[in-house]
Amino acid sequence: MSAPTNALKAALKRGETQIGCWASFADPYATEVLSTAEFDWILIDAEHSPNDLRTIMHQLQILEGKRSDAVVRLPMGEDWLIKQVLDAGAQSLLIPMVETAEQARDLVRATRYPPEGIRGSGAALARSSMFASRKDYIETANAEICLIIQVETRAALAALDDILAVDGVDAVFIGPSDLSVDMGYQGDMTHPEVRAAIKDALTRIAASDKAAGIISIDDDEAQEYADWGACLLAVGIDVLMLATTARAAMQRWRSRGGSDR
């Protein structure tokens, strides 16, 4: 038995738009609820959320067989951490703060078994091979890895053409918030210079053989990003969905004479 087919990777290669959502609760129950919306992909965030290897694994288990494909964002592109999360069953990774083609090439190598890379081959111990029941896992795993790198600084944009030339990178994802901070606009993603940089980057990525990705929780802005070439598009963040709905509910009842505390 081979490694499972990576539906997200295949869809991006066909140029199909894939709509996703951030999963930030670090809890499989919440991610299972989120999966009922049937997003194309759900990002299990370990960069800005309190996820660890075990909570990531539990969410991968929850999403297996669901309509939504799992993407794991790690806090950093360390070889040992990539190895662990791939062995836990991840096939699609988003790695933040990539600024050079050399970093991108190192990430490709970290996600591949030799001779293409340096991933350790103890797959018999891991759920990625279903504990050695997928007999051809090691031989077939490389082809099903989807590597998404996140560019979110001026240095990364300056190196974008070199990054786009790296074989093994499937998508390049713009980090608009960090980019705005690095450009000196402190989270103002609507600033004309930030918008111009995002538009230029998405256009260049879309013109390459990589998929262009970005996140926005504003529908009009997200549509604009799609018009600029984004096809790996995140349109929601679960914790903000809960917070926004809860606050709106209380505000409605407060305006009807409820508690002022």
Q: Which positions are catalytic?
A: 48
Count the Cβ atoms, other than its own, within 10 Å of residue 142. Answer: 18
The answer to whether 56 and 75 have CB atoms below 8 angstroms apart is no
The answer to whether 206 and 229 have CB atoms below 8 angstroms apart is yes
Q: Are strands 69-73 and 92-95 parallel, antiparallel or unpaired?
A: parallel
Structural element, H or E, at residue 150: strand 146-151
| Residue keyed to tokens 């350790």 | 120
Both tokens assigned to 39: 């997003």
* Contacts (Cβ under 8 Å, ≥6 apart) of 173: 94, 148, 149, 150, 151, 212, 213, 214, 215, 232
Count the Cβ atoms, other than its own, within 10 Å of residue 117. Answer: 19
Both tokens assigned to 72: 């794991």
The answer to whether 72 and 47 have CB atoms below 8 angstroms apart is no
The answer to whether 68 and 42 have CB atoms below 8 angstroms apart is yes
The answer to whether 87 and 128 have CB atoms below 8 angstroms apart is yes
Helix (H, G, I), strand (E, B) or coil at 123: helix
DSSP 8-state assignment for residue 36: T
